[in-house]
Amino acid sequence: MTKKKNETFEWVKSILGALVIAFIIRSFIFTPIVVDGESMNPTLQDKDRMVVIKIGEPKRFDIVVFHAPDGRDYIKRVIGLPGDSIEYKNDVLYINGKAYNEPYLEKYKKRLNDETLTYSFTLKETAVGSDTVPKDSLFVMGDNRRDSKDSRDIGAIPIEKVIGTTNVVYYPIKEIKIVNN
């Protein structure tokens, strides 16, 4: 009888230990997310399942998941960091006056046959309303620039609202990939 109790106790300890480890990993290291909508097309598709990594600071052009002002979680690309001046002119991104190439948009731009993907704007003309990205905030945009509710509409995103970065699609299985910036 004692041997059976010891064995049961060991199983309970093992299961509880595994649950605690799973809770810690999901709470502090990574968590899954499902892409909802088409704002990141063609990079990400509606219903793609991804892994969000919760450690580390987001960098320019990383894809981030954050708590949006409407209470939902959004997935967008970091364009501007704190203190950056952002402007689009003739479908070209300028950060602090320097033109940047956005290779992740090239496939989409080719499909448009010389039409503009990203309409011209300055940061001041967006919901951010200032010349630079505020301290401790990010300016984010969806890759589907024509159909994305992003910092142009909702303003700068406080870094504290960022859940984490993501670049691994694990479902659907035929679409498993690592998304490059």
Residues assigned a catalytic role: 39, 76
Specify the 3-state DSSP secondary structure of 121: strand
Spatial neighbors of 119 by CB under 8 A, at least 6 apart, are 88, 145
Euclidean distance between the first and the last CA atom of the chain, given in angstroms as a whole number: 60
What is the phi/psi pair of residue 57, to 5°?
Answer: -90, 140
Residues contacting residue 135 through CB under 8 Å, at least 6 positions apart? 82, 83
DSSP for 53-104, written as a single string: E-SS---TT-EEEEE-TTSSEEEEEEEE-TT--EEEETTEEEETTEEE--GG
* 13-21 contacts at long range (C-beta below 8 A, 24 or more positions apart): none
C-alpha 72/C-alpha 137 separation (Å) is: 18
Question: 164 and 171 in contact (C-beta within 8 Å)?
Answer: no
